[in-house]
């Protein structure tokens, strides 16, 4: 009986970021990306400030760059890194020309002696320069936290009533002492 060749259990994983040709091709792109991120508070925020068509063109080029990296094609990675660098320049130019002010919109709050900065848009969070120790949140994050707390309260109440059938849960106004 003829034995079949044994197949390997798994294909060994190769990390494209360990390939010096790919990393070398990406370094100028990373520098351009960092520069744009610092200026605009992130690439996603920058894309939100330009036309949908320009944002989509950059997104397409970036997706192609990621595919080239994953396929270990250093020449295509280098070519597409250059395309993405030019794309970042186009995004920057368009955002600069189309916006009289690109300062992030935020509200500064103080509650119980603590200061907060609340960004109107989640994409603005990274662009806000806050003093050390002052958290920056977005309205969307606050609403998500509120929902988590409400969902947790509901689950906690259900668990209490399941553990103690016939029990009633009543809430005390803030600051009142417990009656026991």
Q: For residue 172, is pLDDT > 60?
A: no
Can you give the pLDDT at residue 178? 52
Band of residue 61 on the pLDDT scale cut at 50, 70, 90? very high
Beta pairing partners, 109: 116
DSSP 105: P
Residue 149 predicted with pLDDT over 70: yes
Chain-centre distance for alpha carbon 155 = 29
d(CA 4, CA 28): 49
Element (H, E) at 119: strand 114-119
Say what percent of the chain tops pLDDT 90: 33
* Lookup result for tokens 């320009």: 54
Extents of the domains making up the chain? 16-98, 106-163
pLDDT digits (tens, 9 = 90+) for 63-111: 999 999 999 899 999 999 999 999 999 999 999 888 655 677 788 888 7
Chain segment 105-145, per-residue pLDDT in tens:
788 888 788 888 888 777 778 778 888 888 888 888 888 87
Q: Using alpha carbons only, what angle is made at residue 173 by residues 171 and 176, rounded to the nearest 5 degrees?
A: 105
pTM to 2 decimals?
A: 0.58
């Amino acid at each position: 009986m003829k034995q079949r060749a044994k197949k390997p259990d798994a294909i060994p994983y190769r990390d494209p970021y360990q390939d010096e040709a790919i990393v070398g091709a990406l370094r100028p792109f990373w520098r351009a990306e960092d520069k744009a991120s610092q200026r605009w508070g992130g690439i996603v925020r920058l894309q939100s400030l330009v036309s949908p068509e320009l944002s989509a063109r950059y997104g397409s080029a970036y997706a192609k760059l990621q595919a080239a990296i994953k396929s270990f094609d250093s020449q295509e990675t280098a070519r597409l890194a250059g395309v993405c660098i030019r794309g970042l320049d186009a995004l920057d130019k368009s955002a600069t020309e189309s916006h009289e002010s690109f300062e992030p919109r935020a509200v500064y709050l103080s509650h119980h002696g603590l200061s907060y900065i609340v960004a109107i848009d989640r994409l603005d969070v990274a662009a806000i320069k806050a003093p050390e120790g002052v958290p920056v949140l977005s309205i969307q994050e606050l609403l998500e936290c509120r929902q988590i707390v409400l969902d947790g309260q509901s689950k906690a109440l259900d668990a209490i009533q399941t553990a103690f059938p016939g029990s009633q849960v009543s809430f005390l106004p803030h600051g009142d002492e417990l009656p026991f």
